[in-house]
Structure 1
């Protein structure tokens, strides 16, 4: 039972991380397209990538189950963001 709760927590963390990561990519693309500050956009992109890599590495230290649960959550978070963006774009 505790194993399933732990995997569910990693899965939910992955979904949250995926949503934040891919919304951040959308924001970065808008900043580049609108002529925003390039240095800030690049710095936040590197930070976003480091956080994703760090949290996936942390999950991998817990074993294959947490890593796979978090990775699946990230993929589902991406799916949600892309679906919402597709609906919002005319």
Structure 2
């Protein structure tokens, strides 16, 4: 997470949010879902503000998942994260 967040920070020239700041951007339903998934090794990478509400992007090793604003979890989202070298 730190590497990806740092690289995004370089590209966008914005401040990288700390985990507690990211946590504050999530809904109560997302927090409950992430709390359940945390015991399986998932961690919060970042939160995107969408028109439908915040979208939490989480990962477990190399697996990416999303938690929608209503707490619904998609373990196989059709998204790709950019990597910068």
**TM-score greater than 0.5 by the shorter chain:** no
**Which one has a bigger Cα radius of gyration?**
1
Task: State TM-score, norm by structure 1.
Answer: 0.20
Task: State TM-score, norm by structure 2.
Answer: 0.20
- Greater strand share, structure number: 2
Q: Which has the higher contact order (CA 8 A, sep 6+)?
A: 1
- Greater helix share, structure number: 1
